Every structure is written in C-alpha cells, then in structure tokens.
Structure 1
Amino acid sequence: MEIKIGVMHTPREIVLESGQSAEEVEKAVGDALSGTSQLLKLVDERGRTVLVPADRVAYVEIGEQATRRVGFGAL
C-alpha cells in the first residue's frame, strides 16, 4: 500500500510502498502522535526503515492496497 507522509517545514512529502497493513500503519501513527513514541517508524517493501520525528509529522495519507495488473488489455 502507498503511504504519504507530510513533514512540517518541508516542501516535499515522503512517499513509500509498504507491506504493512492499514491497521499496523494507523497504530504506528497513533502511537507517534499520542506521545507514546518519539518517532514514526514504518518499513517499506524492500525492508528499509523510515523514521520521522513525531513532532514534525503534518499528515499521513494511507492509500488502498494496490493490485498489480499484468498485460496490455483494455481497462
């Protein structure tokens, strides 16, 4: 699923593809914003870890699970 993270005072957003479920991402964001955790920590599809300071998170957009289409057929 695609996740977009807006960071305060930064003109660009962080975009990553993650294998985590929407519930896992929501829990990580909730923990970071409630003060339980100092960092928002997410893992992308390649196993790389993305860390964002919780006090700098402006927004998080959680996209739908993308289905990969194969072929050149008409939609």
Structure 2
Amino acid sequence: MEVKIGVQRAQRELVLDTDVTPEDIEARLAEAIAGNGVLRLEDTKGRTVVVPAAAVAYLEIGSPNASTVGFR
C-alpha cells in the first residue's frame, strides 16, 4: 500500500510502499505524536523511513490494492 508523508518545511512529500496495515500506521503515528517521538515505517524493499512526529504535516494512506500496469 502506498503511504505519503507530508513533512513541514519540505517541498516534497515522502512516498513509500509498505505491507503495514492502515490501522498499524495510524497507531504508530498516534504513539509517536503522544510520546513526542519519531514515526518509523519500513517499505517493501526493507528500507526504513524515520520522521520526527512533530514535523509530520499530514499522512495519506492509499488503498491496499496493487497498481496495475497497462491499458484498461
């Protein structure tokens, strides 16, 4: 699923594909904000994105359906 993270004072958003459920992503964000910590997400290639919770402007969680290639 595609996740877009808007970061304050950054011109571009962070975009990653992850296997984490939307509920887990929301829980991680809520925990990071409550503890004034960091939001940590892993993508499908094993890379990790770490963003300070105070710098998160928005979080957009895409649909869990995989993208298709080609014409419809």
The match for 1:43 is 42
Amino acid at match of 1:54: A
Deviation at 1:41, TM superposition (A): 0.4
The superposition leaves residues 3-45 of structure 1 with CA deviations (integer Å, 9 ceiling, x where unpaired) of 000000011000000011111111111111222x510000100
Deviation at 1:65, TM superposition (A): 0.6
Which TM-score applies when normalising by structure 1?
0.84
Deviation at 1:47, TM superposition (A): 1.1
Deviation at 1:68, TM superposition (A): 4.4
CA RMSD of superposed structures (Å): 1.6
Runs of 4+ in 1 over 6 A off after TM superposition: none
The match for 1:20 is 20
SS at match of 1:26: helix
| Structure 2 residue runs without a partner (length 5+) | none
Which TM-score applies when normalising by structure 2?
0.87
Q: Which deviates more from structure 2 when the two are superposed, residues 3-12 or residues 26-35?
A: 26-35
Separation in structure 2 between the aligned mates of residue 58 and residue 68 of structure 1, nearest angstrom: 26
Separation in structure 1 between the aligned mates of residue 10 and residue 49 of structure 2, nearest angstrom: 16
